[in-house]
A and B are shown apart, each in its own frame.
Chain A
Amino acid sequence: MTKFVGLKKPDYGSRQTDRVFEDNSGHDITTDGILTGIARTKDAFSGTFADMMKASGMFVRDTE
């Protein structure tokens, strides 16, 4: 295994991460926007997915 040695600690604070990651073009993350998304993705979280969750160990029902 390669051993890295040196007296000076790496200066992570100098990295320009904003040049690496894509920035947003101005969209806001808003309450109304998220509510719209929740409604639009509702089908994905019901039906077959819900049946699979119920059949898994992640679901417990009171059997009494």
Chain B
Amino acid sequence: MSTLRNVDWQRVLHPVCDAIEAVYGVELEVDTDELAELERFADESLRSYRLTNPNAAKVAGHLCFWLRRLKPIRHAATSNAKLLAVNEVAALWLGLAICDQYFDNASAQSFKIDPRILKDWVASLRYNSHSPHALAIAFEILTGRKVE
């Protein structure tokens, strides 16, 4: 059964935050209470499909939405730089990471996204309106098998 409860969120976000810190020279903090809240809300919104086992793209979409909405990642007071869209970058990275491995069911084994489109997607996540269901569909389209 596809469940969010299996995922150790702290462990999952560590490599993402470490990489962001290294690339942008920032210092980050993650609120683990908010990760628990994120899991609860994603679990609830995924139930709207009435599926026992929603596919990876749907899970990715809902997690991406709640991560950029609840924003559990913050900059430490000692950070000398700020990536204002840090939660949005992490959310998109997490979503793509989930989709990346489920190549035999609604996802391609590997996919390349133009860096400009990736940047625009991050900006849109930060500044525009999104819904968990719209993000889920975006991941379905992005990672879906191409029709011949």
Contacts and interface: CB of A to CB of B under 8 A. Distances in A.
Contacts of B94: 34, 38
A52 B24 CA distance: 11
Contact of B49 (A21, A30, A57, A60): A21
Contacts, number: 140
Contacts of B16: 38
10 contacts: A24-B53, A34-B98, A42-B19, A45-B93, A53-B119, A59-B24, A59-B82, A60-B84, A61-B82, A62-B80
Interface of B: 1-4, 6-8, 11-12, 15-16, 19, 23-25, 48-56, 58-59, 80-85, 89, 93-94, 96-102, 104-106, 110, 112-113, 115-116, 118-119, 122-123, 126
Given A34-B7, A35-B11, 15 more contacts: A17-B51, A21-B51, A23-B51, A23-B52, A28-B3, A29-B56, A29-B59, A29-B98, A33-B101, A44-B96, A45-B89, A46-B19, A52-B115, A53-B119, A59-B82
